Amino acid sequence: MRQSSRVGLMVVFVVCGFAVGQTAIGSTVKIPNVTGSYAVTDHCSTGWCATNDYTGTWTIVQKGTKLTGHDNAGNQLTGTISGATAKWTLRGPTYSFVVMATFAATGKSFHGTFVDSRKASGTTKAARATRPKVIVLP
């Protein structure tokens, strides 16, 4: 292969590589709409609650990348979301835990992990809670 052909081929690879890199860098990450109430199941793997499952309802309110809300026990939720990845803390008067979760693109479910203030940890998963259908009797 002649020297000029090799240089031309290298220029093509560099230009194509730069274009691919620019597309990845220039693209924006879509943040799903996660505002809603979620039916949550936490599975404790380690610590004081090991092997136990806990269920509840968490209400999340999203404003841009900020998350606020509460759970059904009255703990306050504060956190952030970037793309589909979120991190929040649920904090009560004597207990708190941190959740790292990934939301589905629809925002209707998430899964992740948690660590609590008593050093227990585990997994969490949830689906958007649905309202019961109203039945109209004749």
Do 57 and 107 belong together in one domain? yes
pLDDT at 105: 94
Q: Tell whether 137 is covered by a domain.
A: no
Long-range CB contacts for residues 55-61, cutoff 8 Å, separation at least 24: 57/129, 58/90, 58/126, 60/34, 60/35, 60/36, 60/88, 61/35
Sign of the C-alpha dihedral computed for residues 6, 9, 14 and 15 taken in this order: positive
Considering its fold, how many domains does the chain have in total? 2
Q: Tell whether 134 is covered by a domain.
A: no
pLDDT at 59: 96
The secondary structure element, H or E, covering residue 63 is strand 53-63
Q: Kindly report the pTM of this predicted structure.
A: 0.74
Sign of the C-alpha dihedral computed for residues 62, 67, 68 and 70 taken in this order: positive
Q: Tell whether 78 is covered by a domain.
A: yes
Bridge partners for 114 per DSSP? 99, 122
Do 22 and 56 belong together in one domain? no
pLDDT at 30: 87
Do 95 and 70 belong together in one domain? yes
Residue ranges for the chain with pLDDT beneath 50: 7-24
pLDDT at 85: 98
Domain that holds residue 17: 1-28
CATH, residue 49:
2.40.128.120
Do 113 and 58 belong together in one domain? yes
Q: Tell whether 122 is covered by a domain.
A: yes
Distance CA 21, CA 12 (A): 14
